[in-house]
Amino acid sequence: MGKLYAVEIVYRGIFQKKLATNISRAIVLAAHLDGKPGISFGRYGDSPERNGIPAKNFAIVATDEQTLQEGMAKYEPKEVDITISVDDTLCKGVESWAWYGLQPINKLTKPGGTLIVTSMEPAEKLIEMAHNRETPYNLAIVKGSRSFSGLWVYKDDHTDVRVLGAIAKVMPELVSLDAMKKTILQEWKDPVKVASAEKSYNRVTKALVQPGQGNPETPYQFELPKWHEMGEGVAIPCIPVGKTVEDPVTHVLGGIRPDRNPTFKKFSTRTMRPVVNFETCIKCTLCWLQCPDTCFDVTPEGLYDANMEACCGCGVCEAVCPVDKCVTMVAETEFADNGSQWETWRKDSTGYLQWLNQKIESRPERSHGFRFKGQYQEQVGEMLQIAQES
């Protein structure tokens, strides 16, 4: 029996689907040029692949046809040589669509395998975000921001070919740089993209992540009910209305915290989250009314606290808020937990405002694709410059 190689590409549904497809397809085509058979396929292809929800593409390559057929007999690989995260916020964990709970980004990565991340963050920060493991693995960084633009469209900033160049560097036994360059030229017909792949090959950085390094928290999980545990009939129990909120300082009860789906936590969907300045809030109710996921809790004094367990990061609240910088979207990489901002503010308003201003100052340009159609043409040049300089 020969050798089987597997690569997974983890991406944001819809917005990066074509990006992931191009990467997985090119891996297989390049492997063919090296004399290895392979196949690429998507893990999700229906309605759950929406609004930035994490999804996957796979590329399976073998040294011979028989070994490939054995690998294809599995629904999806149970372990991979390379995990590719085309959005660094996915390092916090992946919840596909409520079947599994939160899964570590490196869950399928083999011991000694490689996690490739497109990011402008240093290795230390990405390692802190990813859940720790009992076995070592490698972290490789391809410098660049998240490639979002609009529905089914990603920015043509060469992220696809730079990732392909990095693959040839971290695992030359899977595919050679020469085969990858030939494939890129055949598929994209652009010598500049070939040059970008070669630069990425030469410049990609790699760090060894030791056992125990990373986020020590146990990822959120739950068990699916067995068939004999399900209720009779076709009625589905509704989610209760909710309960009042307790002020952590005065212990006064008031407002309402709606009960939400106990198993589907939407926080892995977002690349940005809202931060709220409660001292400038005029209680206009617009964020609460317009939030498509009802993620705002009403506090006893009538303020609105974005519940980070339910927030998908769409940015509607920031768009409808009439007060400047009362609600501000900030990159998800700036946060380590999903705790209540309102409770933190109530306990230490001065400290909270300092924290808030620091987060707003570090706020990047809006990077997700929830609000735009087509290419970010004005940003393509900027992204290419980053690629050339990094």
Instruction: Name the percent of the chain lying above pLDDT 90.
Output: 64
Domain 4-218 coded CATH 3.40.920.10: yes
Residue 381 has pLDDT above 70, yes or no: no
pLDDT higher for 143 or 76?
Answer: 143
pLDDT for residue 374 is more than 60: no
State the Cα–Cα distance between residues 328 and 343, nearest whole angstrom.
18
pLDDT tens digits for range 33-51: 999 999 999 875 444 566 6
pLDDT of residue 38: 96
In the predicted structure, residue 76 carries a pLDDT above the cut 70 = yes
List, for residues 146-160, the tens digit of each pLDDT value: 888 777 778 888 999
Amino acid in position 23: I
Q: Give CATH 3.30.70 domain extents, the chain.
A: 233-264+272-361
What's residue 283's pLDDT?
96
pLDDT tens digits, one per residue of 201-245: 999 989 999 999 999 999 888 887 788 887 776 677 788 889 999
CA separation for the pair 82, 109 (Å, rounded) = 6
Per the CB < 8 A criterion, the answer to whether 295 and 307 are in contact is yes
Mean pLDDT for 132-155 is 87
pTM comes to 0.87
CATH class, 233-264+272-361 region: alpha beta
What is the C-alpha separation between 124 and 141, in angstroms, rounded?
11
Q: Which pLDDT tens digit goes with each residue over 243-295?
A: 999 999 999 999 999 998 887 787 888 889 999 999 999 999 999 999 988 99
The predicted pLDDT at position 388 comes to 57
Start-end of CATH 3.40.920.10 domains in the chain: 4-218
Q: Smallest Cα–Cα separation from 135: which of 196, 27, 209, 191?
A: 209
Closest alpha carbon to 50 in 9, 8, 98, 100: 98
Least confident of 24-33, 66-75, 197-206: 66-75
| pLDDT at position 80 over 90 | yes
Would you say residue 318 has pLDDT above 90?
yes
pLDDT score at 157: 87
Lowest mean pLDDT among 73-87, 226-240, 275-289, 327-341: 226-240
Task: Classify the C-alpha dihedral 184-185-190-193 as positive or negative.
Answer: positive
Average pLDDT over residues 306-310: 93
